[in-house]
Chains A and B, each alone.
Chain A
Amino acid sequence: MSNESTSLEQAQCQEPKVRARSGWTYRPDVDVVETAEGITLVADLPGADVSSIDVKYEQGTLTISASIPLRQDESTKYLVNEYGVGDYHRQFNIRQDIDASKIEANYVDGVLTVRLPKPEVAQPRKITVKAE
């Protein structure tokens, strides 16, 4: 426990809690990058299952959540216990135009990738002038 750092969030971790699933909700680490095509969001969600991940986009808000089952019996006595296991939840306000119908998400090796493409810009068109 040598690398422990103190923060408000951690202090909250030690509050008494109600047991539902593990009873914890974690804020996953997320990378967000923008390219010419759109926004890509990459979240570490170790221990999730494709079917337990929920990705929602509604009125400019992207919500990622996943419910994570306990992997060990609750009575397990740990010799070392350096991290907590619980559900994931995080929300983002996307302040850019997104083509909501083309949002894609996939989950590989515990990493969720969500691609939010920008709407296709109207292609410049050349109008042919016909002679009558």
Chain B
Amino acid sequence: MRMLALRNGISDWNRFQKEMDELFQGALSQAPAAGRALLGRSRGTTPLRVWEDDNSYHVEAELPGLKLEDLEILVHRNEVSLSGERKIEFGEEVTAGRRERVADKIERKLQLPLELDADKAEASLVNGILTLTLPKAEAAKPRKIEVSAG
């Protein structure tokens, strides 16, 4: 699998190239949503990272501004689904502004190669990072069969 950083990153070699945003200068830049989306991370699906060890699959997502209770996480057989909504609210007294953060619907379904032990699945959401630990079902794990002589 090719690994790509999908977000609007700048790589290390030009990190000191200062990027300056001019705020509130002349006509307020109401960044057009479509234009922003081209530069920003891909919208519409929630980007994930998934990796595994012998016992579990691990799923990670960046969900700033969300709490665990804002999410519904379902584990069934070998499938895990994530859903929820990120709301962004500013008071009515706002006179001007520019918005890049998107009130996203979080919706993602993922099929893993092996069946999961849903009862032992764990989720945490700390500083906007969701981490799921999804143990592989005992029955699904590859088994080493001892061959005994005699």
Interface size of B by Cβ–Cβ distance < 8 Å? Answer: 65
Q: How large is the interface on A (under 10, 10 to 19, 20 to 34, 35 or more residues)?
A: 35 or more
A84 contacts the other chain (CB 8 A):
yes
Q: Would you call B12 and A18 a contact (CB within 8 A)? A: yes
A26 near B9 with CB under 8 A, answer: yes
Chain B at the A interface: mostly helix, strand, loop or mixed?
loop
A83–B128 contact, CB under 8 A?
no
- Among A40, A46, A91, the one with the most B-chain Cβ atoms within 10 Å of its Cβ is A46
Given contacts A5-B37, A27-B10, A83-B41, contact A77 B51 (CB under 8 A): yes
A14 to B3, CA, bound (A): 9
- Asked whether, in the complex, the Cβ of B51 is within 8 Å of the Cβ of A47, the reply is no
**CB contact between A80 and one of B18, B41, B50, B67 (< 8 Å): that residue:** B50
| A79-B50 contact given A26-B8, A84-B7, CB 8 Å threshold | yes
Chain A contact residues, CB within 8 Å of chain B: 1, 3-5, 7, 9-10, 12-15, 17-18, 20, 23-27, 29-36, 39-40, 42, 44-49, 61, 71-72, 76-84, 86-87, 89-96, 107, 109-111
Binding site for A on B (CB under 8 A): 1-15, 18-25, 37-45, 47-52, 57, 60, 62-67, 88, 90-91, 93-102, 110, 112, 125, 127-129
